[in-house]
Amino acid sequence: MEHLQAYRAAGGGKHRANKQFGTSVLNRRLLTATAVLFAAAFANTKASAQSGPFAPMAGTWSGGGTVILDDGSTERIRCRAKYAPIGPTMEMSLTCASDAYKFNLAASVRSEGSAISGSWSEASRNISGSLLGRGGGGNFEVVVSAAGFNANLALKTSGNKQTVTMRADSQFRGANIALSK
């Protein structure tokens, strides 16, 4: 009996194994709660990205096509596009290059119903402007404008395939691009 009293006194009246067990259970519960919160936040973000008008476009796409220059000549190009939709907004980039030609198009767009608006920039030529158009479900027709530059841009998405068609009124006459995920 003396042995048991000395043991309890050394442990502050509590059995040490129980104290350690209680802390371990608490830590596991905290870790589980944290994991559930992170999973819920990730699922919420993914659900938001997958529910807006740009959802079919989400992800990274690659492919190729042709660019049409002002003299009517064409060059084959390779392209990579990245679309990051979140609900009614989307950040996107499209980079295309051939042996002699390259463009880096970036845009930030917003959808209000079927109306699309936003801003764009082309890094290699240091130009930027606005865009306006219509569409939904991954299919859009927009007009991009800047000082001295106008172009029509059509994006059509069907499953893991996408076509991008651009027509412009400058030295860059247009492009026809086919992308896939």
Instruction: For residue range 17-31, list pLDDT tens digits in order.
Output: 444 444 433 333 333
146-150 mean pLDDT? 86
* Nearest residue to 154 via CA among 180, 125, 176: 176
pLDDT at 12: 53
pLDDT at 94: 92
Interatomic CA distance for residues 124 and 126, integer angstroms: 6
Q: DSSP secondary-structure letter at 55? A: G
* Nearest residue to 64 via CA among 95, 86, 21: 95
How many other C-beta atoms lie within 10 A of the C-beta of residue 119? 14
Mean pLDDT computed over every residue of the chain: 77
- End-to-end C-alpha distance for the chain, whole angstroms: 74
Alpha helices in the chain (DSSP H): 2-10, 16-51
Integer CA distances (angstroms), 137 to 38, 53, 82, 105, 156, in order: 29, 5, 17, 21, 9
Per-residue pLDDT band for 122 (boundaries 50, 70, 90) equals confident
How many other C-beta atoms lie within 10 A of the C-beta of residue 63? 19
pLDDT greater than 80 at residue 68: yes
The model carries a pTM of 0.68
Interatomic CA distance for residues 89 and 40, integer angstroms: 21
